[in-house]
Chain A
Amino acid sequence: MPNEPQNELGEAWRNQPGENITMPLEEIRRRAGKFQRRIRWRNAREYAAVAIVVIIFGFYLKWFPNPVARAGSVMIIAGALYVAYQLHRRGSSEAMPAGGAFEPCLGFHRRALERQRDALASVWSWYLGPMIPGLAVFLVGSAVATPIPLPYLVLVTVMRAAVVGTVFWLVAKLNHGAARKLQAQIDELKALEQ
């Protein structure tokens, strides 16, 4: 029925004037190179953040006489390296937008949301968790080395642990909330695939 308004709309949509934007191959190759540089720059920032943690706790490792605090420093450095590895690994899977982009839109979109959800929902295991043992040992070690009466020592240590714990809990809560919202969208898309 050619006179239906939606057919006329389709025709109007297809016949709207465009800007005839084209991209020569040289420009495409230039942008592909720029894209790779952007990925390298992002990786460099992650490595820089890890380097700062390594330098700070490397300093503690060298100058803190207390062996427990020094052990904590080593564990924190190890935790930071693990988090950096995880960030790099997870980032690499998003680094190639052409990869899988030829899949049907529904599945492609669902998988993109699932990757985000998994990263957010498992934040304890790859982002927060690896830092906890080192921080706990470091807190105890630095407390033991502080020359103040035991009750104050316990109080200060508990307060420090509470602050760190609260920050971690808030980060985890925000991430889990975001993961739940994504899950609702994923369920909606799954229902449409059946």
Chain B
Amino acid sequence: MGEPSQDERYHQAAAEYGAALERLARAYEFDPDRRRDLLQEIHLALWRSFALFDGRCSARTWVYRVAHNTAVSYGIGRRRSGDRNLVSLEEVELTLGDRDGDEAAGRRHVLARLTELIQSLKPLDRQVILSYLEGMDASAIGEITGLAAGNVATKIHRIKTVLAKRFSQGADYAE
């Protein structure tokens, strides 16, 4: 059997990572219509990218790189017409209070707050936290983002601190 075609590769990737791509689009776009638009852009970019797939990295790494890069390009285009300021993980960590978790948990749904936190981050930090929440290890995160191993470790440490403090108590994960 020969190499899979562009269409076959795309079908496989869409079947395997379709749900993850939806979550990724949700992390980049709050507005449902724009989110749907972004997701379609990602699928289009993915299909086109598979014409160039040469196996230099795993299909998963390829899919996430294309998805993140497309989402960032989409965001850059939107920010040209004015958008909010994004913050880094370090800034989020600095503004954390000890009682953030239990005070806010009762007010808003945890997933909604988590999505809001991710959307407020700068692209690179957003990519790291998303990969972390998708269950990837430091080496996979480094491969997708291009971050050096030490920087990935530092960022994961910050993510753990931020998540633990913001979502430590009274979390209700039910939809």
With a cutoff of 8 Å between Cβ atoms, the chain B residues found around residue A97 in the complex are 41, 45, 48, 69-70, 73
Do B133 and A9 touch (CB < 8 A)?
yes
A21, B127: Cα distance in complex, Å: 21
* Chain A interface extent, by class: 35 or more
Do B164 and A105 touch (CB < 8 A)?
no
Say yes or no: A14-B134 contact (C-beta < 8 A), given A23-B43, A28-B44, A109-B123: yes
Do A12 and B65 touch (CB < 8 A)?
no
Partner of A23, one of B14, B147, B159, B163: B14
State the main secondary structure of chain B at its contact with A: helix
- Chain A 159-194 against B: per-residue CB contact (8 Å), 1 yes, 0 no? 000000000000000000000000000000100111
Say yes or no: A18-B23 contact (C-beta < 8 A), given A4-B164, A31-B44: yes
Say yes or no: A112-B164 contact (C-beta < 8 A), given A35-B44, A104-B145: no
- Chain A 61-93 against B: per-residue CB contact (8 Å), 1 yes, 0 no? 000000000000000000000000000000000
How many B residues touch A, CB cutoff 8 Å? 57
Do B44 and A32 touch (CB < 8 A)?
yes
Report if A147 contacts B (CB, 8 A).
no
A64, B80: Cα distance in complex, Å: 41
- Chain B 12-23 against A: per-residue CB contact (8 Å), 1 yes, 0 no? 001000111011
State the main secondary structure of chain A at its contact with B: helix
A10, B130: Cα distance in complex, Å: 9
Report if A148 contacts B (CB, 8 A).
no
A189, B147: Cα distance in complex, Å: 9
A5, B168: Cα distance in complex, Å: 6
Which residues of chain B in 103-119 are interfacial with respect to chain A, using CB atoms and an 8 Å cutoff? Answer: 110-111, 114
Do B49 and A101 touch (CB < 8 A)?
yes
Report if A108 contacts B (CB, 8 A).
yes
With a cutoff of 8 Å between Cβ atoms, the chain A residues found around residue B167 in the complex are 5-6, 9
Sorted nearest first, the 4 A-B pairs with minimum C-beta distance are A104-B146, A106-B146, A98-B48, A12-B173
A residues contacting B by CB (< 8 A) are 4-6, 8-14, 16-23, 25, 27-28, 31-32, 35, 97-98, 100-109, 112, 116, 189, 192-194
B residues contacting A by CB (< 8 A) are 7, 10, 14, 18-20, 22-23, 36, 39-41, 43-45, 47-49, 51-53, 57, 62, 65-66, 68-70, 72-73, 76, 110-111, 114, 123-124, 127, 132-135, 143-148, 151, 159-160, 163-164, 167-168, 171, 173, 175
